[in-house]
Amino acid sequence: NAGVTQTPKFQVLKTGQSMTLQCAQDMNHNSMYWYRQDPGMGLRLIYYSASEGTTDKGEVPNGYNVSRLNKREFSLRLESAAPSQTSVYFCASSEALGRQGYGYTFGSGTRLTVV
Amino acid sequence: GIQVEQSPPDLILQEGANSTLRCNFSDSVNNLQWFHQNPWGQLINLFYIPSGTKQNGRLSATTVATERYSLLYISSSQTTDSGVYFCAVGGGGTSYGKLTFGQGTILTVHP
């Protein structure tokens, strides 16, 4: 059971380049998320998808776009990378578990450097 | 939006010691979770605890929703407990899964 898989794990971009971060989950979760983590800070929500076919902005969406390709996959695109987007990006998925609470699973992260 | 404050920001312990981490939040929440980020960056869900008390081995957590705080207790700490502990909260309805994270408590456990 792989959980949440992110690719790539590391990436260096030049300012102005574009790239897509890929995320896939195999837990049949409805909801998926993209967060960024900067040094000394907690995670901040970029975009989320409550269910297949829907996406919505989070706290820091500027400079990013997302696509919920199907129930399993949720990609994050940087159209024109900027040094301020240097960060570690985490994808996550979640599902309500009734009495057991709320299952939230993170991928292992993508470390992105924009030079 | 909801503000989440964690304390202390840093904590250094000797192996075997106990500790209490605190999370204060500014509004009522329907979702509160504690996560551990290990030194390799992996985030693991420890507890889903919007109210009440839960225990899992040496870890336990208590949330007093009416007073807007949560506590994470670590007993008999081990070096493998080192890392960053995050509290994260979410609201109701469509905001349920959208978590707002605190800045974390960095825990270092020395042998």
Beta-carbon separation of B4 and A50 below 8 A? no
Beta-carbon separation of B41 and A104 below 8 A? no
pLDDT band with cut points at 50, 70 and 90 for residue A1: low
Closest CA to A48 of A100, A104, A115: A104
Cβ neighbours for A32, distance < 8 A, ≥ 6 positions apart: A23, A25, A48, A49, A68, A74, A91, A92, A93, A94
CB atoms within 10 A of CB B83: 22
> How confident is the model over B62-74, as a mean pLDDT?
97
Interface of A with B (CB under 8 A): 31, 33, 35, 40-45, 48, 50, 56, 58-59, 88, 90, 92, 94, 96-97, 100-106, 108-109
Examine the pLDDT at B96 and tell me if it is beyond 80.
no
pLDDT band with cut points at 50, 70 and 90 for residue A101: low
- The pair of structure tokens assigned to B27 is 């509004």
Nearest-by-CA chain A residue for B95 = A50
Examine the pLDDT at A100 and tell me if it is beyond 70.
no
* pLDDT at residue number A42: 87
pLDDT digits (tens, 9 = 90+) for A43-94: 999 999 988 889 999 999 999 999 998 999 999 999 999 999 999 999 999 9
- SS3 assignment, position B43: strand
Examine the pLDDT at B84 and tell me if it is beyond 90.
yes
- The pair of structure tokens assigned to A113 is 């450097």
* pLDDT at residue number A86: 97
Strand partners, A32: A49, A93
pLDDT band with cut points at 50, 70 and 90 for residue A27: very high
* pLDDT at residue number B3: 93
C-beta separation of B72 from B11 below 8 A: no
* pLDDT at residue number B30: 86
C-beta separation of A90 from B43 below 8 A: yes
